[in-house]
Amino acid sequence: MKRNKRYLIILLFTILFVGFKSKWTFLLPHHFPTPHYNFKKEELTEHKIELGRVLFHDPILSKDRTISCASCHSPYNAFAHTDHALSHGINDSIGRRNAPALFNLAWQKSFMWDGAINHIEVQALAPITDRREMAETIENVPFKLNRSNKYRTLFYNAFQDSSVNGQHLLKALAQFQLSLISANSKYDKVKLGHEQFNAQEKNGYELFLKNCNMCHQEPLFSNYEFVNNGLAIDSTLNDFGKISITHKSSDSLKFKTPSLRNLSYTYPYMHDGRFTKLNQVLNHYTKGVNQSTTLALELKNGINLTANEKVDLIAFLLTLNDEEFIRNPKFQFPKNNL
Amino acid sequence: MKILNLIQQCHLELKIILKFELYSFFIIRFLACLLNILVLLKSSFKRNTFKLITTKHLLLLLSLLSNVGFSQNSAINFAFHFGNSPLVLDKKYAFKNDSISITKFRFYISDIEFLNNETITYRLKKKHHLIDISNKTSIQIEATNNFKFNQIHFNIGIDSITNVSGAMGEDLDPTKGMYWAWQSGYINLKLEGKCNTCKTRNNEFQLHIGGYQSPFNTLQKLKINVKENKPLAIIVDVKAFLQEFTLENNCTIMSPSAQSVNLANYFKKLISLNEEK
């Protein structure tokens, strides 16, 4: 009898434990650090993510219904805009920065190249209202969505409220983007013991740890800090980065360190897309660094790499491509709902 | 009503069970839900609840009657003025050898506390209130609360924690036009209009004052002594605010900056009490 009781208590506890753990926290990669985003406070749900996916791919968010988030953040390019140095918006407007790739956003503390956005839920406000991107007013989006029965149903399923408001719109978009987790590259498989680096990749990995890991910290391949990496100022853009947000001279020319994951799909590189090839990027770090007062200490003397070392380093960097991520059907155009 | 809500909730949970296959946890919650309904049904059949409700209402009524001074007008009312006259949108007013008109005016009030001899006696549950001249504005206080006060504290603006907590609802919904899109943060006060001293397009001035991070923090804390336990009629005088600085040099302010901090220091000039009431 007593024994049975004990089992019953243990059973009850396991039920509670399993029950409380959400389906989505199980998806967080084991070899990743604790995310910055608090999934316990704001749990991801299937309906909210699906609504977010529909909104992400729907040009209804833009003023003239021509541009969707996916226009510049295409799933097949790891949600970047391959081959476009600067972002494209409505009426063929050209933006002033490169559309960044979107993945592992739950580990980022701030958003945009200059960190202007402090929370993923309010990020979408920027591209929706920017006159060079979607040029819409944030008041008008819920108005348009409220006239669609499809959206009223989707919002009801997600939030138990069929009337669309700004908060729910932004939360749904955030949930879809938070679900974009890329952790199935060859590098990840090696880390989890399922695969092995070849000799070249292994050498490249060692070179990476010695020369790049300070800023492009594994396993996310960025510490998401803001640094001046010695790019010469482009006088046609005059973009000085984070200083425009903080007004602090110490933030001059600082931009967010991007992750190196999926780098084959996300060219061109840098905040203004000035480099199209990985070789150009490495050449910048070995002999092109521009000296200035806010330059990252690690780059004061440049990085020394021989031609052979560069080849090995690139071989390693290519193991960061996550093909499963870019082909994941859960992230593609929602055929059933659009 | 309550029962209906519960039934709906149970139905929803059943749907989740089918979808998520986390049987154990949800079945327990589903059963708990059913139990709840049963208890509710049982108690309402007993009619005891009726009695309870009526006594509760009676008590409420009594407390209302006993505190005529405050509870009858249990609200904070806002009246918009331009100097001595009421403020009407798009109307021209004389201002510093020139004329001025206001086209848009709204601001946030947050963390309202009532104090009696320096001790907090009541804190409003709703933390943030958008005060907008184009909406008839008053803040309701739950009539059930019986408290004494001779001082009121509140902020003009939104605190820094709310500013970094993602997408908010109701008065804080970014669709209210009080949130910056390109750089995260609330606009604490928005005042727009026309004045010939502004050498801008159509002589328009746009003051969007916000910023929650040091050194550009624009939140202002106000402490006002008031008549004991009397309803509050607050006058918001735009002229008193505009008089404090040279508008000509501040026609367009739309980001957190030293200029916005400077103007935020004059927020307190906006607020005064209508002593007649």
Give the mutation candidate from A36, A39, A50, A122 for the B interface (greatest B CB count, under 10 A): A122
Shortest distance between the Cα of A119 and any Cα of chain B, in A, equals 5
Q: What whole-number distance in Å separates Cα of residue B218 and Cα of residue B209?
A: 7
Q: What whole-number distance in Å separates Cα of residue B55 and Cα of residue B51?
A: 6
Q: Which amino acid is at B236?
A: V
A158 Cα distance to chain centroid:
23
Shortest distance between the Cα of B125 and any Cα of chain A, in A, equals 20
Q: Where are the alpha helices (DSSP H) in chain A?
A: 2-20, 46-57, 69-72, 120-123, 125-129, 140-146, 149-159, 166-178, 186-191, 199-211, 243-246, 278-283, 307-317, 323-327
Q: Is pLDDT above 50 for B66?
A: no
Q: What whole-number distance in Å separates Cα of residue A32 and Cα of residue B237?
A: 55
Domain range for A166 is 46-182
pLDDT, tens only, A159-199 = 999 999 999 999 999 999 999 999 999 999 999 999 999 99
Q: What CATH number has the domain bearing residue A292? A: 1.10.760.10
Shortest distance between the Cα of A315 and any Cα of chain B, in A, equals 38
Q: Is pLDDT above 80 for B58?
A: no
Q: What whole-number distance in Å separates Cα of residue B175 and Cα of residue B191?
A: 17
Task: State whether A105 and A149 are in the same domain.
Answer: yes
Mean per-residue pLDDT, B229-241: 90
Identify the burial level of A194 via C-beta atoms within 10 angstroms of its C-beta, where 0-12 means exposed, 13-18 middle and 19 or more buried: exposed
Task: State whether A269 and A303 are in the same domain.
Answer: yes
HSE at residue B102, side-chain half, CA atoms within 13 A, is 24
Residue B140 pLDDT level (bands cut at 50, 70, 90): confident
Choose one of A157, A182, A207: the last residue of a domain. Answer: A182
Task: State whether A171 and A192 are in the same domain.
Answer: no
Q: Is pLDDT above 90 for B130?
A: yes
Inspect the interface and report whether the beta carbons of A118 and B163 lie closer than 8 Å. yes
Q: Is pLDDT above 60 for B196?
A: yes
- Residue ranges for chain A with pLDDT beneath 70: 1-3, 7-26
List, in order, residues 6 or more apart from B129 with CB less than 8 Å away: B108, B109, B110, B112, B139, B171
Q: Is pLDDT above 60 for B221?
A: yes
pLDDT, tens only, B259-269 = 999 999 999 99
Task: State whether A192 and A173 are in the same domain.
Answer: no
Task: State whether A85 and A149 are in the same domain.
Answer: yes
* Tokens 């199935």, located at residue: A184
For B:142-171, CB contacts with A below 8 A are: 163-169
Task: State whether A216 and A230 are in the same domain.
Answer: yes
Task: State whether A74 and A136 are in the same domain.
Answer: yes
Residue B62 pLDDT level (bands cut at 50, 70, 90): very low
Enumerate the residues of chain A whose CB falls inside 8 A of the CB of residue B22.
Answer: 18-19, 23
Enumerate the residues of chain A whose CB falls inside 8 A of the CB of residue B12.
Answer: 160
B175 contact A CB<8A: yes
Nearest-CB residue to A138 (from B28, B169, B181): B181
Task: State whether A248 and A287 are in the same domain.
Answer: yes
Q: Is B136 helix (H, G, I), strand (E, B) or coil?
A: coil
Enumerate the residues of chain B whose CB falls inside 8 A of the CB of residue A171.
Answer: 166-167
What is the value of pTM for the model shown?
Answer: 0.81
Neighbours of B36 (CB within 10 A): 15
Longest distance between any two alpha carbons in chain B, whole Å: 76
Query: Searching chain B, which residue's CA lies closest to the CA of residue A125?
Result: B181
Inspect the interface and report whether the beta carbons of B184 and A166 lie closer than 8 Å. no
Q: What whole-number distance in Å separates Cα of residue B198 and Cα of residue B249?
A: 8
Nearest-CB residue to B25 (from A19, A139, A245): A19
Residue B20 pLDDT level (bands cut at 50, 70, 90): very low
Task: State whether A159 and A63 are in the same domain.
Answer: yes
**pLDDT of the residue at A2:** 59
Shortest distance between the Cα of A17 and any Cα of chain B, in A, equals 9
Nearest-CB residue to A129 (from B167, B173, B181): B181
What is the domain count for chain A? 2
Q: Which two tokens stand for residue A81?
A: 């805009």
Q: Which two tokens stand for residue A254?
A: 């600082």
DSSP string, A284-307: IIIIIPPP-TTB-GGGTT-----H
Short-list B200, B211, B195, CA closest to B261: B211
Q: Is A259 helix (H, G, I), strand (E, B) or coil?
A: coil
Mean per-residue pLDDT, B70-81: 70
Choose one of A132, A158, A182: the last residue of a domain. Answer: A182
Q: Which two tokens stand for residue A185?
A: 């590259």
Short-list A178, A181, A176, CA closest to A50: A176
pLDDT, tens only, B199-212 = 999 999 999 999 99
Task: State whether A110 and A133 are in the same domain.
Answer: yes
Q: Which two tokens stand for residue A179?
A: 């679900």
Nearest-CB residue to A15 (from B24, B166, B174): B24
Q: Which two tokens stand for residue A45?
A: 């749900």
Task: State whether A192 and A278 are in the same domain.
Answer: yes
**pLDDT of the residue at A82:** 86
Enumerate the residues of chain A whose CB falls inside 8 A of the CB of residue B15.
Answer: none
DSSP-derived secondary structure letter, A295: B
Choose one of A182, A206, A223: the last residue of a domain. Answer: A182
Q: Is pLDDT above 90 for B27?
A: no
Query: Searching chain A, which residue's CA lies closest to the CA of residue B161?
Result: A118
**pLDDT of the residue at B38:** 59
Averaged pLDDT of chain B = 79
Is position A54 within any domain? yes
**pLDDT of the residue at B75:** 80
- Classify strands B119-123 and B271-273 as parallel, antiparallel or unpaired: unpaired
- Classify strands A255-256 and A226-227 as parallel, antiparallel or unpaired: antiparallel
Task: Output phi, psi for B95, to 5 deg.
Answer: -155, 115
Nearest-CB residue to A142 (from B22, B166, B175): B175
Task: State whether A71 and A194 are in the same domain.
Answer: no
